[in-house]
Chain A
């Protein structure tokens, strides 16, 4: 399951998407809307995506996980639209034979999602101002400049 959706994300649907008899562990991660950014009160967040490309990139991340860990049960769902404090913005589920690989693969999926999946977040501050979020420096540095050919590693 690789999906961009305006609907509420439930853990059960994401878990069911990865369950299977060869799994000894299911690692489930939720990203949720926090009530502040750097101490500044946040009213809500708005997410926008490029759905067909985002879902394609999610599937590519799952393929990377299959290549690295031999794990074939990965689900990624990201919500779009206006999200209130506490709501789930993103969910990643990884089912693996053993928990260590599952935890590592789940973290990898989230890190890669923030690098290559075309989704954007706008903060609506409590005072009413809005602002498109700039990426964390660590991810920003990892962006491949468009002037060079994509790496093929």
Chain B
């Protein structure tokens, strides 16, 4: 199956791309994507502790199962708004 994976902020810079299509085996979870990214860029694993993931615009866990056409995103700690 194919899913879209989006990268923002520091992840975008680390991986040098903002999104990509990923072909995954049936039964894949968010964890499958994280492991694949870690193979490409081991340093990204350090960020996993503080990062969240989303599937179809909703926060998800590593164990969230994926289906064809899902939109997954790596969400670094958010810092919107202002400092007051």
B52 A146 Cβ-Cβ under 8 A? yes
User: How many interface residues does chain A have, given as a range?
Assistant: 35 or more
Q: Shortest distance in angstroms between A17's beta carbon and chain B's nearest beta carbon?
A: 18
Question: How many angstroms from the CA of A147 to the CA of B83 in the assembled complex?
Answer: 28
Tell which of A50, A114, A117, A136 touches B6, judged by Cβ atoms closer than 8 Å: A50
**Nearest CB on A from B7, distance (A):** 10
In the complex, whether B45 has a CB less than 8 A from a CB of chain A is no
Q: Is B27 an interface residue (CB 8 A)?
A: no
Could you tell me if B83 and A34 are in contact, using CB atoms closer than 8 angstroms? yes
Q: Which residues of A contact B50 (CB under 8 A)?
A: 140, 143
* Structural contact, A143 and B77, CB atoms closer than 8 A: yes
Most buried by A among B51, B54, B57, B73: B57
B66 in the interface, Cβ–Cβ < 8 Å?
A: no
Contact of B81 among A34, A50, A110, A149 (CB under 8 A): A110
| Cβ-defined contact, B54 with A31, below 8 A | no
Whether A144 is near chain B, meaning CB under 8 Å from some CB there, is: yes
A residues whose Cβ falls under 8 Å from a Cβ of B = 31-34, 37, 47-50, 52-54, 56, 78, 89-90, 110, 113-122, 132-136, 139-140, 143-150
8 more contacts with CB within 8 A, not counting A37-B83, A50-B75, A148-B61, are A49-B80, A50-B57, A53-B58, A90-B82, A113-B81, A115-B78, A118-B8, A119-B80
